């Protein structure tokens, strides 16, 4: 699609005017367009259309009966074979199952967390005691040893 209208004019709010036409004016413009483009009489569509058949193409379009259960079996006229089955379990049972599952998971996670904290506390105590034990001298000093033992 090409146009000779500048881009700013296209995006502006005042790019075009909408004129209200009466039905007679609209039908007259259709006839004028058909005449301007030399549309053959057998291809012209009478406006307003009073039936579903286009002149020259009678019987080519399916009727309402053919659409709904006849030749075509339109889905808007029939019940879909892909229906959602009824739920086998009620919503309350699902909610209870989820809540109980979360509680059990939380209790197990809390138990594991506390067990890990106790192990960590034991490791810290052992590390602290070993650090102190490295710097304590258990052997008697020279002032505590008897002169005979020396």
What 3-state class would DSSP assign to 35?
A: helix
Cβ(67)–Cβ(74) below 8 Å: yes
**pTM of this structure:** 0.36
Range scoring the smallest mean pLDDT among 37-41, 60-64, 69-73, 78-82: 69-73
Residue 96, Cβ density class (10 Å: 0-12 exposed, 13-18 middle, ≥19 buried) = exposed
User: pLDDT confidence of 38, banded at 50, 70, 90?
Assistant: very high
Give the residue carrying structure tokens 């959602």: 84
The per-residue pLDDT for 124 is 94
Largest CA distance in the chain: 143
Quick one: tokens of 37?
């483009």
């Amino acid at each position: 699609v090409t146009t000779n209208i500048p881009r700013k004019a296209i995006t502006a709010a005042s790019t075009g005017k909408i004129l209200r036409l009466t039905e007679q004016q609209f039908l007259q413009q259709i006839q004028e367009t058909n005449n301007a483009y030399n549309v053959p009489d057998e291809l012209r569509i009478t406006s307003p259309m009073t039936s579903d058949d286009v002149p020259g193409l009678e019987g080519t379009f399916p009727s309402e009966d053919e659409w709904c259960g006849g030749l075509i079996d339109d889905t808007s006229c029939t019940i879909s074979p892909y229906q959602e089955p009824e739920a086998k379990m009620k919503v309350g049972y699902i909610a209870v199952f989820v809540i109980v599952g979360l509680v059990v998971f939380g209790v197990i996670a809390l138990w594991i967390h506390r067990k890990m904290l106790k192990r960590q506390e034991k490791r810290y105590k052992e590390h602290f005691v070993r650090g102190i034990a490295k710097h304590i001298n258990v052997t008697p000093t020279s002032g505590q040893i008897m002169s005979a033992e020396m």
